[in-house]
Amino acid sequence: MTTTIIVAAGLAVLLALAGGLLTEVGPWYRALRKPGWNPPDWAFGPIWTVILSLLAASGVLAWRGAHTPTAHLQVAIYFAVNWVFHLAWSPLFFKLKRPDWALIENMFLLGSVAALVIGLRPFSVLASWLDVPYLVWVTIALYLNYTIVRLNEPFSGVGNTAATSQGAA
């Protein structure tokens, strides 16, 4: 196995672990009103496993297609920016209990995934295509996040949502 593959796989596993640790599916989340088309909780693990595996493969292909130090830096920046936005969503939604803030952040995440799809194309067309499922999933997640905000607003403070205040009414 080459160093590039080991690094890409390690970063994907680290991203998956961090995302999992930052996600708390507890009473607050369960009390939120969600649309009928909300995926079941068990589906998120397999979906993210596939997406992050494709993301790692995309990274390997793009890195191998970048033939100069400047090109390698460009690929690294695309992935680093995506990493930051990917990691930021879960604490906003689950830890701070602010789906409204997570919705805003989700738009930046979507932009970073679109940047991967577009920006990696010069280095590897296949790398670009491997990130399309990630783009589709984040688009679905953005709409799900939007729907959850609409069904449960207002969000005015940590843990203070329409879902929790209605439970007290």
pLDDT at 12: 86
Quote the crossing angle between the two packed helices 99-119 and 69-90, to the nearest 10°. Answer: 160
Average pLDDT over residues 119-134: 98
Q: Name the band, by pLDDT with cuts 50, 70 and 90, for residue 1.
A: low
Q: What is the CATH number of the domain that holds 86?
A: 1.20.1260.100
Q: Distance between CA atoms of 160 and 156, rounded to whole angstroms?
A: 6
Q: Distance between CA atoms of 129 and 161, rounded to whole angstroms?
A: 39
Is the pLDDT reported for residue 24 higher than 70?
Answer: yes
- How much is the pTM? 0.85
| pLDDT mean across residues, the chain | 89
Average pLDDT over residues 3-9: 87
Is the pLDDT reported for residue 31 higher than 90?
Answer: yes
What phi and psi values does residue 32 have, to the nearest 5 degrees? -65, 140
Is the pLDDT reported for residue 163 higher than 80?
Answer: no
The domain in which residue 63 lies consists of 3-168
Is the pLDDT reported for residue 146 higher than 50?
Answer: yes
Percent of the chain residues topping a pLDDT of 90:
72
pLDDT at 157: 55
Number of domains in the chain: 1
